[in-house]
Amino acid sequence: MTRLYLISVLCLITNFCFGQTQLEMNEKAAKEYQKTDKELNTVYQKVLKEYSADTAFVKNLKIAQRIWIQFRDAEMLAKYPNREDGYYGSMQPICWFAYKTELTLDRIKKLKVWLAGTEDGDGCSGSVKIKN
């Protein structure tokens, strides 16, 4: 009996300390995306600054970034087409922001290649600078 009481109390304490409402979880997912989007913009601006002398690259990177945003938005709608309210359930905002965060992290990784540079002798480096 004591064991059952102890387990019940621990469960209540755990739920009290870690319980979150759906709204709180949705807000947390949205904030995580906003943080990732801010990082994307920071990395993008660093690449533009680093390569500012290469006007052809900068012009094409800007075009690519605009198209990537269109791709990201289309990808989101492919995964979560517009449906009537409640179609995807209460977790949909979390899933939406998690996928958008994933796509954004992939883009950050690709942009960081221009900042990190490539090894000397990489014949396919294109506009990516050679590491010092």
Query: Is it the case that residue 12 has pLDDT exceeding 50?
Result: no
Q: For the chain, what is the mean pLDDT? A: 88
Residue with structure tokens 């709608």?
A: 77
pLDDT in tens, 56-86: 999 999 999 999 999 999 999 999 999 998 8
Distance CA 28, CA 93 (A): 10
Query: Is it the case that residue 4 has pLDDT exceeding 90?
Result: no
Q: Is residue 59 part of a domain?
A: yes
Please report, for the domain that includes residue 47, its CATH number.
Answer: 1.20.1270.180
Q: Is residue 28 part of a domain?
A: yes
Q: Is residue 16 part of a domain?
A: no
Domain of residue 96: give its range: 22-111
pLDDT attached to residue 19: 55
Given a contact cutoff of 8 angstroms between Cβ atoms, the answer to whether 72 and 107 are in contact is yes
- The model's pTM is 0.81
Q: Is residue 72 part of a domain?
A: yes
Question: DSSP H helical segments within 19-130, as ranges?
Answer: 22-50, 55-79, 92-116
CB contact set of 95 (below 8 Å; sequence gap of 6+)? 80, 88
Q: Is residue 80 part of a domain?
A: yes
